[in-house]
Amino acid sequence: MGATALTKKTFNNQIQSGVTLVDFWAPWCGPCKIQLPIVEALADEMKGTATLAKVNVDEETELAGQFGIRSIPTLLLFKDGALVDTMVGVNQKDVLKEKILKLTV
């Protein structure tokens, strides 16, 4: 299944409850091509615990602007609608998993 693709219409509903990690990316971005498969794999692994999602910044410029995304990949971590962490650049799977699990206890 992998990460859920979000749009400005679905974004707020998705982050409102539980833990959601959102990967802001673009198809032309080299580091994004490293990060996205990590997010996709973690999405399947964390199913039922947290939601992992992705936003294509080329298609969702309004969302990227709303969160001040200046470089990609940028990962935003939400807990019950509140932004709790921002990570810029490539993050390893174990680092992301640890941050997510800290919020789910």
Q: Which positions are annotated as active-site residues?
A: 29, 32
Under 8 Å between Cβ of 50 and 42: no
Antiparallel, parallel or unpaired: β 19-25 and 74-79: antiparallel
| DSSP secondary structure letter of residue 7 | -
φ/ψ of 66, rounded to 5, equals: -60, -35
